[in-house]
Structure 1
């Protein structure tokens, strides 16, 4: 059984054409640079009532791939949030809220630590 990162942004007004283009560019760039492109679904956006942006990303099942993937996708969602700063955001890993800070976004700096990634068996130089 795997876990997923879920993200949704709501606001009273729909996305503008410029915002849609920005979101598309962000999604494409982060999906194209996924750490494990053959094993991940990437940023997957889908329509939802009341949301201007709604999506999910299933994380790899293998622990040594989960942390690098989580770091990557949380950075991607951070960029999406910063592109739509006036929206109300909710980001969760399954049912647990992912905290937001202005300094780090959704990224937990401890997870991005190369020593932790190396400890989990991932080569930090790749």
Structure 2
């Protein structure tokens, strides 16, 4: 069974042409800079059948290899951080299966510190 990182952005107005172009630019650049060519990276779904208020949604299947997991998670969270900064007025949700990933202002999306 695999674990995935999911990301969603919603708002009442659709993307403008400029915003859509910026999302495409960020997505292409982040996919090209993925730490491993043979692992899934940032992946956005086609919005043809999505809910009307969804402006961006996607997921990344995370690697099973322990030495690759954190570099991929960090890269994708950095990618989603860049997308959120490009679309700051949207309502964002990012999570790894049932674990919500918080937004931390200047830092962006980072894994929560679960140490006691």
Moved over 4 A (4+): none
Summarize the alignment of residues 1-126 of structure 1 with structure 2, pairs less than 5 Å apart: 1-38=1-38, 40-46=39-45, 47=47, 48-49=50-51, 50-108=53-111
Which consecutive unaligned segments of at least 5 residues does structure 2 have?
Answer: none
CA distance in 1, matches of 2:84, 2:71: 20
CA distance in 1: counterparts of 2:94 and 2:37, whole angstroms: 22
Equivalents in 2 of 1:44, 1:14: separation in Å? 19
- TM-score when scaled to structure 1? 0.81
Which shows bigger deviation, 23-32 or 40-49?
40-49
Q: Which has the higher strand share?
A: 2
In 2: Cα distance, 1:103 partner to 1:86 partner: 16
Coordinate RMSD, CA, aligned: 1.4
Equivalents in 2 of 1:71, 1:45: separation in Å?
A: 17
